[in-house]
Amino acid sequence: MSLEDILPPDMIGKPASNGDGSNDVSAEVTAAPATSVSGDVIAFPAEVEAAIAAVLPSDDPLDRPDFDSVDYINEMFPTEQSLGGLDDVIAEMRCKIQCVDDDIRRIVRNQTYVGQDAAAALEAAQTAIVQLFTQIRDIKQKAEESEAMVRDITRDIKQLDTAKRNLTTAITTLNHLHMLVGGVTTLQNLSQKRQYGEAAMLLQGLMEVMEHFKNYTAIPQIKELSDRVHALRKDIGVQITADFQNALSRENARNFSPNRELAEACLVVNVLDTKVKSNLMRWLISRELEEYGIIFQDGEENTWLDKVDARYNWLKRHLIEFEERLGPMFPPEWEMSERIAVEFCDLTRKHLERLMFRRKTEIDTKLLLHAIQQTANFESLLSRRFVGVTLAQYEEKKRQETEAAEKSSNPFEEPIDDPNNPFFAGDAGKSSKEEEVPRRPPRRSRHSLE
């Protein structure tokens, strides 16, 4: 009995003939080539088989790519006695085939439903896209309307903000104008009554208000007020200078005592033009050193180098007296004592230069050493007493004088303070050009020069 008689034709291949009509069991089943299509069996490439095995792993021999039906049947029925269970195997195979067919039908049916669902999903997506486009268009339209509304509101806000700024500027300007008009009249009255304390604060406020109106000077009324303020400042400066000169004149000097009026006048001078302060300080220093120029003028006995310490002692006594009588009247930042000392040193240098040039035959080593020692001691005392904040102004003055002398093209012109000039005359009234100076450390005791 052969396999063909046992298995149905759809489970085995057609038996091969050996030419004499007999059947060979060893050649009963022929396998199709691995890379060809034979009947209903399809052989995939090795790469595809590996991908399928990775996605759907299986231990079933039927799923192997190198499945051989002959070997599989021979493995199931190795002997003739094992053919007794052939009916069971056939029933099992048919059951598996039936299950596979059911799975295929279910998959095909589901795939059909999937196509219908896909079409319905596509239609729903298209409908959703249309609705979304409509919503986006509506949102865009509303955004444009909102933008136009915001633009209108912003334009109104900008107009209101501009109006508010203009109104604020107008109110501020009117207030400043009111302060300026009233302040000019008040300042004029205060200056006439010599109430310098209130005038100083008012004048400082008026200068700040005038700074606000500097861009409106083309207006005639503002120009008139500005001119009045400048005229008042000039008049007040002249008035204060005259007050100091009258109070410290020779006939009134002995009976003069510092008063609040002149002390407050110094505060007004700080607000006025710097030239007013410079001229006033120059006059004050000249007045303080007037006595020195008389006592130590040429021809006096105590003017020579052997009496040089007399000059320094005079300054010590005079500064102590000045700080006790007049010092509290001047603001500390004016540094009046230091300015007097600097001007004294300058005048002394000029006097001694002139004397030494005229009496150079009388100079010997002992006299020079004595004068140098006394001068060094005096300089050491001044360095301890003062901080030297006015020395920069003195050096600037000398530099300007030197530059002016160098620029002159007159061959007959000589510096007035040159000791070689036969027309040289000492002038105790000259002083360095005054400028604003930084505040010095706290003032030391007035008696530290002793």
Say if 65 falls within a structural domain: no
CA–CA dist 57, 14 (Å, integer):
32
Average pLDDT over residues 206-216: 82
Predicted pLDDT of residue 137: 92
pLDDT band per the 50, 70, 90 thresholds, residue 1: very low
The pLDDT of residue 406 is 60
**One-letter amino acid for residue 126 of the chain:** Q
Q: Model confidence over 172-201: pLDDT tens digits? A: 888 888 888 888 888 888 888 888 888 888
Arithmetic mean of pLDDT, 102-127:
82
Which pLDDT belongs to residue 66? Answer: 74
In a domain, 346, yes or no: yes
Q: What is the pLDDT at residue 446? A: 41
Task: Report the pLDDT value the prediction gives residue 254, as an integer from 0 to 100.
Answer: 66
Per-residue pLDDT at 132: 93
Question: Residue 25 pLDDT > 50, yes or no?
Answer: no
Reported as a single tens digit per residue, the pLDDT across 52-80 is 878 878 777 777 777 777 888 888 888 88
Q: Would you place residue 13 in the very low, low, confident or very high pLDDT band (cuts 50, 70, 90)?
A: very low
For range 400-427, the mean pLDDT = 55
Rounded average pLDDT over 143-149: 89
Q: How confident is the model at residue 138 (pLDDT cuts 50, 70, 90)?
A: very high
Is pLDDT larger for residue 112 or for residue 409? 112
Q: What is the per-residue pLDDT for 133?
A: 92
Residue 198, Cβ density class (10 Å: 0-12 exposed, 13-18 middle, ≥19 buried):
middle
For residue 194, is it left (φ>0), alpha (ψ between -120 and 50) or beta?
Answer: left
Whether residue 55 lies inside any domain: the answer is: no
Close Cβ partners of 435 (under 8 Å, ≥ 6 residues apart): 274, 278, 393
What's the mean pLDDT when you consider all of the chain?
A: 76
Q: Contact, 29 vs 69, CB < 8 A?
A: yes
At 387 the three-state DSSP class reads coil
One-letter identity of residue 180: L
User: What pLDDT was estimated at residue 36?
Assistant: 46
352 vs 111, residue with greater confidence: 352
How would DSSP label each residue in 194-216? T-HHHHHHHHHHHHHHHHHTGGG
For the cut 50, the answer to whether the pLDDT of residue 257 exceeds it is yes
Helix, strand, coil percentages in the chain from 3-state DSSP, rounded to 5: 75, 0, 25
- pLDDT in the model for residue 27: 35
Q: Is 444 a member of any domain?
A: yes
Q: Is residue 365 part of a domain?
A: yes
pLDDT tens sequence across 289-304:
888 888 888 776 777 8
**Which of the four pLDDT bands, split at 50, 70 and 90, describes residue 355?**
confident
3-state secondary structure of 93: helix
Contacts of 293 (CB under 8 A, 6+ apart): 347, 426, 428
Residue 225 to residue 289: CA distance in whole angstroms: 41
Confidence band of 85 (pLDDT split at 50, 70, 90): confident
Question: Coil, helix or strand for 237?
Answer: helix
Cα dist from 151 to 137, 140, 159, 445, whole Å: 21, 16, 12, 73
Is pLDDT at 236 greater than 80 in this prediction? yes
Calculate the dihedral angle through the C-alpha atoms of 144, 146, 147, 148, rounding to the nearest 10 degrees: 90
Please, what sign has the CA dihedral across residues 279, 283, 288, 292? positive
pLDDT score of 421 = 52
Residue 83: is its pLDDT beyond 50?
yes
Does the residue 169 lie in any domain?
no
| Confidence bin at 439 (pLDDT 50/70/90) | very low
Most confident of 85-89, 402-406, 424-428: 85-89
Give CA torsion, residues 236, 239, 245, 248, to 10 deg: -80
Nearest to 202 by CA among 184, 215, 226: 184
pLDDT band at 418 (very low <50, low <70, confident <90, very high): low
The whole-model pTM stands at 0.54
Judge whether 337 lies within some domain: yes
Considering only residues 429 and 43, tell me which one the structure prediction assigns the higher pLDDT.
43
What number of CA atoms fall less than 13 Å from residue 95's CA on the CB side?
6
Residue 421 counted as domain residue = yes
Instruction: Identify which has the larger pLDDT, 115 or 220.
Output: 220
Domain count for the chain: 1
Domain coverage including residue 390: 277-450
